[in-house]
């Protein structure tokens, strides 16, 4: 049998279930750390509930993903998850979901592991969003999830550091309202609203243009050149202001 015939016969088993994101749809890839609770609390004892070193590892990973070949325009991270918005016309890997998932999960896992000095693994999934409004809703969803998680995490670790077992801390927080959690922290001298914004809202990375001094290669004259770089934002706005912030990156 000729190789070309064998290749065609066998290739179909790899591609029969390929799914491609339709043109015109927005692509957001969300990556989540696998077993990161154990990784961050047992294997690598980061400070609880939030550790700047872990935050920076996640930001470094987002930076790498935005520079690894896909047309990523906005990256958002909170806790152990990353959401990556691609250009609407991005055609990386023919918009095949299996390729986007496998490549980006692999890139994230490799970059994070190198920074950590140990193994950290991410999985990934693709959201196919039909409009600018749905993209904004997606990121507001993750933004609000960050706020809820931060409040719960601060309460949980307050109780743990006070001496409660994991089970007792979880039981104490079961059914406790947002107001009740804020009151719990306040009673122990913690004003949740005064905590660093990156803990409550997550962090973001986006491209920005900047001016750089340069020399004209023909005349040697001093000029100003426009360049692009990635910028980190640890002070994300809230509510409608965040919606407008995200809107500026939907292209």
- Closest by CA position to 83, among listed 39, 143, 130: 143
Q: What is the mean pLDDT of residues 90-96?
A: 96
| pLDDT tens for each residue of 109-159 | 999 999 999 999 999 999 999 999 999 999 999 999 999 999 999 999 999
3-state secondary structure 174-236: CCCCHHHHHHHHHHCCCCHHHCCHHHHHCEEEEEEEEEEEEECCCCCCEEEEEEEEEEEECCC
Q: What is the pLDDT of residue 1?
A: 59
- From the list 45, 39, 20, the residue with the least C-alpha distance to 80 is 39
Residue 102's pLDDT band, with cuts at 50, 70 and 90, is: very high
Cβ burial, residue 115 (10 Å; 0-12/13-18/19+)? middle
How does residue 225 score in pLDDT terms, banded at 50, 70 and 90?
confident
| Cα–Cα dist 203/75, whole Å | 8
Q: Decide: pTM greater than 0.75.
A: yes
31-63, pLDDT tens digit by residue? 999 999 888 888 888 999 999 999 999 999 999
- 């491609």: which residue's tokens? 20
């Amino acid at each position: 049998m000729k190789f070309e015939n064998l290749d065609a016969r066998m290739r179909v088993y790899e591609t029969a279930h390929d799914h491609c994101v339709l043109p015109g749809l927005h692509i957001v890839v969300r990556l989540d750390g696998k077993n990161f609770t154990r990784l961050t609390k047992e294997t690598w004892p980061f400070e609880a509930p939030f550790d700047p070193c872990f935050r920076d590892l996640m930001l470094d990973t987002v930076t790498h993903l935005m520079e690894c070949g896909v047309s990523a325009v906005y990256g958002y991270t909170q806790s152990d998850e990353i959401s990556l918005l691609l250009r609407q016309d991005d055609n990386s890997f023919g918009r095949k979901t299996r390729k986007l998932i496998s490549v980006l999960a692999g890139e994230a896992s490799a970059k994070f592991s190198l920074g950590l000095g140990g193994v950290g693994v991410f999985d990934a999934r693709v959201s196919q969003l039909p409009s600018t409004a749905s993209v904004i809703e997606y990121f507001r969803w993750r933004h609000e999830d960050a706020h809820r998680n931060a409040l719960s995490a601060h309460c949980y670790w307050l109780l743990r550091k006070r001496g409660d077992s994991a089970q007792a801390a979880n039981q104490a927080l079961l059914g406790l309202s947002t107001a009740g959690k804020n009151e719990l922290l306040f009673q122990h001298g913690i004003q949740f609203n005064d905590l660093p914004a990156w803990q409550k809202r997550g962090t973001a990375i986006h491209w920005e243009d900047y001016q750089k001094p340069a020399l004209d290669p023909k005349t040697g004259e001093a000029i100003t050149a426009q360049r692009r770089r990635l910028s980190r934002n640890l002070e994300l706005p809230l509510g409608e202001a965040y919606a407008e912030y995200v809107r500026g990156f939907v292209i």
